């Protein structure tokens, strides 16, 4: 234990040498509300700018660049952009380094949802071309884009905040997904909230570091240290006890993480499906499919086979086959007269009671045996299909 006693003061002394700025969170905000604009901004290309009370309305006829002359001097890990937009918009956050003689323009894509004053978070620490150097910031708007820009903000997190983010991301859980039966992404480490918010949206989680990988490396190093210690400083038995205690401790810690994730899935099932009435419950990513299948099964029971169109083939076709057995779903348009439609907005029934796909009639007159929701129903024609439908229609 002697070396540890010497190590502790060194660590404390080392921490004292760290600049105090490392512990201070810094932000730089660009406001666009009338009377609060705090930088000079200009438009380049086919872009029009109009100052409104809540912000600047940007609209483009071609590609446009909205850029500031003021430099961003922080080294932020994340950005936040707040806009109002009637439709989802695809933008690029753009930057030019002050000291770059070529004034090269770098950018990273942003997908903004439709809505009133919604904030979109941008993780910058994983963008390879993003560096600490002073830079000018801008937005690139694609042709025919219109947004009301309220605010752009950049945050440079301090050491403590980054450490807290690593801890929070470790305890951020994945959902019960189709792949969960075969593998689990497990705890991920990231040091900014923007990445943590979308931790499992990108797969494999490439914007974060696997905590398992870090732990295994640390364990390998500790094992080597213990082995070395067992040769010179402590007995083999003591090294084994220390090593096994350490392994057991980490094992239990990981068990708590993974067991909690498992329990969170059960709780999610309970609150979205098991404990909810059958009129409104949903099941994981399958939405209301299982209640739809319960609804449709009695309606096809008098048929050995029926036509089944769903929003996608997997997993619905196989799952429906099992749920309605011995009635078998397929696309045998020549022989089957019963159509089971699940979440297909392109499949409709006309006023003449004909089934249409993409606006074209595919059956003669018939009737809806039952409607589950606007896009899901069971239809029976008086005769089989009137036209040949190409396979891609059934995705």
Partner 1 sequence: MNLLTFLLALALPTLLGWVLLLILEKNHPVLGRTERMFWALILGPTLFTLIVFLSQVLGLTKLNLFGFLIPLLLVLSLLLFVAQRTHALQVRHAKIFYAQSAPLSRFLVCLILLLSVWAGMKVLAGTYDLISVPTSWDDSFNNWNMRGKMFFFHQKLVLEIPIGNGLVQPSDGVSSYPPSVPLLKTWLSVLRGSWQEPLINGLHIIWLVGLIGSFYFALRRRLSPLLSLGGVCLLISLPLFLIQAMNPYADIFLAAHLFLAMMCVYRSAQAQELPELSTWMKLSGFAIGILLFTKNEASVLYAPLLLFLLIFIMLSKKKNNSIDAESVRKLLGTSFLIVACIGAPWILFKWFHGLSFGNAKSVSGMHIAFHPAVPGAIWYHLSHEPNWLLLPFVLPLTLLLSGKRAFRLPEGVLTVFLFAAITAQFLIFTFTPLATEAIMQTGLSRGLLHIAPIAMLLVMVLAESLLNGKHRECYC
Interior/surface letters 326-340, b for 16+ CB within 10 angstroms, e for the rest: ebbbebebeebbbbb
Asked if 171 is part of the footprint of partner 1 (rule: CB under 8 A), the reply reads no
Shortest Cβ 369–partner 1 spacing (Å)? 20
Residues 44-83: x where in contact with partner 1 by CB under 8 A, - otherwise, as a string: ----------------------------------------
Compute how many residues bind partner 1; rule: CB under 8 A: 61
Asked if 391 is part of the footprint of partner 1 (rule: CB under 8 A), the reply reads no
Asked if 18 is part of the footprint of partner 1 (rule: CB under 8 A), the reply reads no
Selected binder of partner 1 within 15, 22, 109, 220 (CB under 8 A) = 220
- DSSP line for 228-277: HHHHHTS-HHHHHHHHHHHHHHHHHHHHHHHHHHHHHHHHHHIIIIITS-
Stretch in the footprint of partner 1 (CB under 8 A) among 61-69, 148-156, 233-241, 377-385 = 233-241
Selected binder of partner 1 within 7, 241, 360, 387 (CB under 8 A) = 241
**CA 273 from centroid of its chain's CA atoms:** 22
> Are the C-beta atoms of 215 and 249 separated by less than 8 Å?
no
Beta strands in the chain (DSSP E): 26-31, 41-52, 55-72, 78-85, 89-97, 105-112, 115-123, 135-141, 146-156, 188-189, 209-210, 305-310, 328-330, 338-342, 347-349, 354-357, 360-373, 376-381
Selected binder of partner 1 within 171, 315, 383, 387 (CB under 8 A) = 315
Asked if 11 is part of the footprint of partner 1 (rule: CB under 8 A), the reply reads no
Q: What is the DSSP letter of 393?
A: G
Residues 184-213: x where in contact with partner 1 by CB under 8 A, - otherwise, as a string: xxxx----------------------x-xx
Residues 250-289: x where in contact with partner 1 by CB under 8 A, - otherwise, as a string: xxx-xxxxxx-xxx-xx--x---xx--------xx-x---
Alpha-carbon gap, residue 175 to 182, rounded angstroms: 14
Asked if 325 is part of the footprint of partner 1 (rule: CB under 8 A), the reply reads yes
- DSSP line for 38-89: -S-EEEEEEEEEEEETTEEEEEEEEEEEEEEEEEE-S--SEEEEEEEESS-E
Nearest to partner 1 of 115, 315 (CB atom): 315
Alpha-carbon gap, residue 41 to 95, rounded angstroms: 13
Asked if 167 is part of the footprint of partner 1 (rule: CB under 8 A), the reply reads no
Q: Which two three-digit tokens encode residue 298? A: 């009695």
* CA-based nearest residue to 32, from 11, 57, 3: 57
Shortest Cβ 319–partner 1 spacing (Å)? 5
Selected binder of partner 1 within 73, 133, 151, 223 (CB under 8 A) = 223
Nearest to partner 1 of 106, 290 (CB atom): 290
Asked if 298 is part of the footprint of partner 1 (rule: CB under 8 A), the reply reads no
Asked if 331 is part of the footprint of partner 1 (rule: CB under 8 A), the reply reads yes
Shortest Cβ 254–partner 1 spacing (Å)? 5
Stretch in the footprint of partner 1 (CB under 8 A) among 79-87, 112-120, 325-333, 379-387 = 325-333
Alpha-carbon gap, residue 337 to 362, rounded angstroms: 11
Nearest to partner 1 of 104, 335 (CB atom): 335
What is the total residue count of the chain?
395
Shortest Cβ 9–partner 1 spacing (Å)? 30
> Are the C-beta atoms of 360 and 348 separated by less than 8 Å?
no
Residues binding partner 1 (CB under 8 A) = 178-187, 210, 212-213, 215-216, 219-220, 223, 227, 237, 240-241, 244, 247, 250-252, 254-259, 261-263, 265-266, 269, 273-274, 283-284, 286, 290, 305, 308, 315, 317-319, 321-323, 325-326, 328-332
């Amino acid at each position: 234990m002697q070396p540890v006693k010497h190590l502790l003061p060194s660590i404390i002394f080392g921490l004292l040498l760290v600049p105090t700025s490392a512990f201070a969170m810094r932000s730089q905000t660009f406001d666009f509300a009338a009377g609060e604009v705090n930088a000079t901004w200009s438009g380049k290309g086919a872009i029009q700018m109009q100052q409104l009370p809540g912000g600047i309305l940007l609209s483009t006829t071609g590609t446009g660049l909205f850029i500031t002359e003021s430099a961003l001097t922080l080294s932020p890990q994340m950005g936040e952009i707040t806009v109002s937009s009637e439709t989802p918009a695809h933008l690029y956050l753009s930057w030019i380094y002050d000291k770059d003689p070529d004034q090269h323009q770098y950018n990273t894509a942003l997908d903004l949802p439709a809505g009133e004053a919604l904030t979109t978070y941008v993780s910058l620490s994983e963008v390879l071309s993003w560096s600490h150097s002073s830079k000018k910031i801008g937005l690139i708007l694609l042709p025919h884009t219109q947004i009301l820009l309220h605010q752009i903000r950049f945050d440079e997190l301090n050491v403590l905040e980054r450490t807290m983010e690593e801890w929070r991301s470790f305890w951020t859980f994945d959902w019960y997904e189709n792949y969960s039966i075969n593998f689990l992404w497990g705890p991920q480490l990231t040091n900014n909230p923007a990445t943590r918010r979308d931790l499992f949206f990108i797969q494999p989680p490439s914007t974060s570091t696997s905590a398992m990988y870090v732990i295994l490396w640390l364990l390998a190093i500790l094992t080597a240290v213990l082995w070395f210690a067992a040769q010179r400083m402590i007995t083999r038995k003591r090294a084994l006890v220390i090593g096994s205690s350490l392994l057991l401790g980490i094992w239990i810690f990981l068990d708590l993480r993974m067991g909690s994730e498992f329990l969170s899935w059960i709780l999610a099932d309970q609150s979205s499906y098991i404990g909810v009435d059958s009129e409104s419950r949903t099941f994981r990513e399958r939405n209301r499919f299982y209640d739809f299948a319960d609804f449709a099964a009695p309606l096809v029971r008098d048929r050995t086979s029926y036509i089944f169109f769903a929003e996608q083939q997997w997993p619905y076709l196989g799952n429906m086959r099992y749920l309605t057995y011995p009635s078998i779903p397929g696309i045998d348009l020549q022989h089957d007269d019963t159509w089971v439609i699940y979440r297909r907005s392109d499949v409709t029934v006309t006023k003449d009671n004909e089934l249409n796909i993409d606006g074209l009639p595919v059956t003669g007159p018939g009737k809806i045996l039952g409607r589950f929701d606007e896009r899901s129903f069971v239809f029976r024609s008086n005769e089989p299909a009137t036209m040949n439908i190409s396979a891609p229609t059934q995705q």
